[in-house]
Amino acid sequence: MNTELKALLEGVKDGSISVREAVVKIKAKPYEDMGYAKIDTQRKIRQGVAEVIYGAGKTGEQIVGIVKSMLESGEKTILITRLDKEKAFLVSDEIELKYYKDAGIGIVGNMPVPNGIGKIIIATGGTSDIPVAEEAAITAEALGNEVVRLYDVGVAGLHRLLDHMEEIMGATVIIAIAGMEGALASVIGGLADCPVIAVPTSVGYGAAFEGLAALLSMLNSCASGVSVVNIDNGFGAGYMASMINHMDIKNRQSK
């Protein structure tokens, strides 16, 4: 049971919310039809996380309209991914927006206080992988997680990674992000005692095939406990890591 629905039911129990008010909230219109978009206003009740806006392919005006609809439905933190600088400028003319250029992410509202069970480590093979890593990091932070960044710790200088064994062994989940041959995920998978989410990036020379080489290497990892998301999908990795980092809370709430 997600936090918002549990709080609603507890409000009914302690009398701070009437049964009628609770029914209205639960039965509220399941989506807002704007013509160019259908906003899933009940996603947070079902999944615990509000709908995320994918900025690529949308106009600035469409993004503004979607954000306003979500704010009207009560959302406190709205995440916009794959948002370029020009669209961010257009959106910020209408709505207060914090823009993270490296991540290509915009946040409307305040970042939540971290409430996960532990820390999410985000490690990159090189500096060139940082844009994907920041997409993962900002996503995870927007979903209520404490994030530790370990950047440029690739296998070409393995001692750089081994200097961070304390952080690695203390993590709840690790996101390993690398291009080229994508070996970082297997190395971390062989060191850590927690789930590892591998993210191949499109960093590399011609035979890297825009990330395909790293993707195949990660899919064929001999290290146990390594899962893989799509090429350059920092958002997907950050979201999955957040789900893992909140499982204990979910289990306690279901009791």
pLDDT digits (tens, 9 = 90+) for 165-217: 999 999 999 999 999 999 999 999 999 999 999 999 999 999 999 999 999 99
Number of domains making up the chain: 2
Residue 227, class by beta-carbon neighbours within 10 Å (0-12 exposed, 13-18 middle, 19+ buried)? middle
- Judge contact between 146 and 120, C-beta under 8 A: yes
- Alpha helices, DSSP H, located in the chain: 3-14, 19-26, 43-47, 60-72, 85-94, 130-142, 158-162, 165-169, 184-189, 212-219, 234-245, 247-253
Q: Same structural domain for residues 166 and 223?
A: yes
Q: Same structural domain for residues 190 and 227?
A: yes
Q: Same structural domain for residues 40 and 146?
A: no
Q: Which residues contact 117 (CB under 8 A, 6 or more apart)?
A: 172, 245, 246, 247, 248, 249
Q: Same structural domain for residues 128 and 239?
A: yes
DSSP, collapsed to helix, strand or coil, labels residue 5 as: helix
Q: Same structural domain for residues 89 and 41?
A: yes
- Among residues 168, 132, 169, 173, the alpha carbon closest in space to that of 150 is found at 168
Residue 239 lies in a domain: yes
Q: Same structural domain for residues 67 and 149?
A: no
Q: Same structural domain for residues 186 and 233?
A: yes
Alpha-carbon distance 228 to 219, whole Å?
Answer: 6
- Among residues 183, 177, 222, 225, the alpha carbon closest in space to that of 200 is found at 177
Determine the pLDDT at residue 27: 60
Q: Same structural domain for residues 85 and 123?
A: no
> What sign does the CA torsion over 40, 250, 237, 71 have?
positive
Determine the pLDDT at residue 1: 43
Residue 16 lies in a domain: no
Number of residues in the chain: 255
> What sign does the CA torsion over 123, 124, 125, 127 have?
negative
Domain edge (last residue) among 88, 110, 132: 110
Determine the pLDDT at residue 249: 65
Q: Same structural domain for residues 70 and 127?
A: no
Q: Same structural domain for residues 134 and 237?
A: yes
Task: Tell me the per-residue pLDDT of 68-110, one tens digit each, with 9 for 90 and over.
Answer: 988 888 888 999 999 999 999 999 999 999 999 999 999 999 8
Residue 15 lies in a domain: no
Determine the pLDDT at residue 251: 59
DSSP, collapsed to helix, strand or coil, labels residue 63 as: helix
Domain edge (last residue) among 110, 141, 168: 110
Q: Same structural domain for residues 105 and 168?
A: no
Mean pLDDT within 18-45: 73
Q: Which domain holds residue 57?
A: 31-110
Domain edge (last residue) among 64, 93, 110: 110
CATH number for the domain spanning 183: value is 3.40.50.1970
Q: Same structural domain for residues 128 and 240?
A: yes
Please tell me the pTM assigned to this model.
0.85
